Structure 1
């Protein structure tokens, strides 16, 4: 039993994937054919979507009947936008936690939470029960959280 625990404890820990890097575990599919110019009516009929990666345009073909499409063919809306950003080496949604600096969290120097909108849901970990609690933070509001003795304020980014 002890030797089994030693093997588990000494097993290498997998590296955390870098932010903005596409998962190598899933196949995004081919980008499709590179377009030489802005899409015309013929391209619109031929491709389901046209995306820009770097300074090049690519036509993403529609899913063929009887087959399964890849992510670029199937995703729509915000998830599709997120994939295009990832292909360009950028991050559409910043999911990094906000850590308060030692002098932050006071009424005169609140923890600044970035947001592209006028409000954002913010979570914090209760130091006693280690449960995440959530609250809505709006632009212009100064919110005090007594459990962690910190003030929060939202600032708008573009």
Structure 2
């Protein structure tokens, strides 16, 4: 990956809807070489797709919670079962395996504290090998980006 590839990636991170012509003009390439580079970056799985970022508030998703989860078992089978089950809960946006006192951190969005409680009782507490959890509620979002520092 050269500096031109990185410049293309920076542009796409800022606006995934940019035309190939505009990207090419910004990096000094014509249409075909720009398209070929983007195609190669997609085939090499550097570019994983393009997404539309939504504002949660007009959608009524006012609560962001970070749930630290402790599992009762830590063998490979238990971890796989837990991780597969997490994939089926749409309110969980992110799931990270972590070090420290808890095994995972989940980022959960929901409409209210009451609906978060319902998700915990009906879904999260029934995840495979769930043992314990600790929740922190976000007061406000200070920074959110999907742009990697390249």
Query: Scaled by the length of structure 2, what TM-score is found?
Result: 0.29
Higher relative contact order (CA 8 A, sep 6+): 2
Query: Scaled by the length of structure 1, what TM-score is found?
Result: 0.28
Greater share of strand: 1
